[in-house]
């Protein structure tokens, strides 16, 4: 398996600032404009503000970004998944490892641990006035795509992740019981 381009994955933030598009709920079947998760022990509903699939034929990759803001407007979560093919207009049904910075094992110099990274979570807290504080965390998580209907551009899955402070290894955010069902996404290219 080839390494997913860091530029491609980290472009999620650039995509957020330049191409946010709210789902209009059209298409086949019933689609959802929310997802749920338990954040630090509190059940939370997130209103989806972005669900996009971006394909890059140059690097033979595609990336899906699903972003939501909590109903109390204090938290913003963006989940980014990447896969090494630009074919199709959906994501493969499978588990995706969420860990943008896997630990390097010096005893295996010929092994690129970043090959295990298939996605990451961007977590932000509100500063008010539509301003957000976004930090970088060490992450250990999993997003399992259980269904992806490319004909109707909907995705369903579950997720959980632990976001830790890089310096202290203290858990800052624990996200469990994450669930999204038939989230409508847009294909950007």
In a domain, 1, yes or no: no
What is the residue-level pLDDT of the chain in tens, covering all 189 positions? 334 444 343 444 333 333 333 333 333 456 789 999 999 999 999 999 999 999 999 988 899 999 999 999 999 999 999 988 899 999 999 999 888 655 655 565 555 544 555 889 999 999 999 899 998 888 889 999 999 999 999 999 999 999 998 889 899 999 999 999 999 999 998
Looking at the structure of the chain, the number of domains it has is: 1
- Label the pairing between strands 171-184 and 154-164: antiparallel
Q: What is the pLDDT of residue 137?
A: 86
Q: What is the pLDDT of residue 161?
A: 94
Take residue 17 and report the two structure tokens written for it. 């600032």
In a domain, 141, yes or no: yes
In a domain, 102, yes or no: yes
In a domain, 134, yes or no: yes
In a domain, 181, yes or no: yes
In a domain, 146, yes or no: yes
In a domain, 46, yes or no: yes
In a domain, 160, yes or no: yes
Q: What is the pLDDT of residue 108?
A: 56
- Residue span of the structural domain in which 158 resides: 6-187
Q: Who contacts 37 (Cβ-Cβ below 8 Å, separation ≥6)?
A: 43, 44, 46, 77, 159, 175, 176, 177, 178, 179
81 closest CA partner among 134, 128, 17, 141: 141
């Amino acid at each position: 398996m080839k390494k997913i381009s860091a530029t491609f994955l980290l472009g999620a933030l650039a995509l957020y600032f330049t191409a946010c598009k709210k789902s209009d709920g059209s298409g086949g079947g019933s689609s959802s404009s929310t997802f749920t998760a338990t954040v630090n022990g509190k059940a939370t509903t997130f209103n989806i503000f972005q669900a996009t699939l971006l394909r890059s034929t140059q690097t033979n990759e595609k990336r899906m970004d699903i972003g939501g803001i909590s109903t109390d407007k204090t938290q913003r979560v963006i989940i980014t998944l990447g896969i090494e093919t630009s074919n199709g207009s959906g994501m493969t049904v499978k588990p995706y490892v969420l860990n943008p910075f896997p630990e390097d094992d010096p005893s295996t110099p010929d092994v690129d641990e970043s090959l295990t990274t298939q996605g990451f979570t961007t977590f932000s807290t509100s500063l008010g006035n539509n301003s957000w504080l976004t930090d970088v965390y060490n992450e250990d998580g999993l997003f399992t795509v259980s269904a992806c209907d490319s004909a109707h551009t909907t995705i369903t899955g579950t997720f959980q992740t632990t976001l830790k402070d890089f310096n202290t290894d203290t858990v800052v955010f624990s996200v469990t019981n994450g669930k999204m069902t038939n989230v409508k996404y847009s294909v950007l290219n």
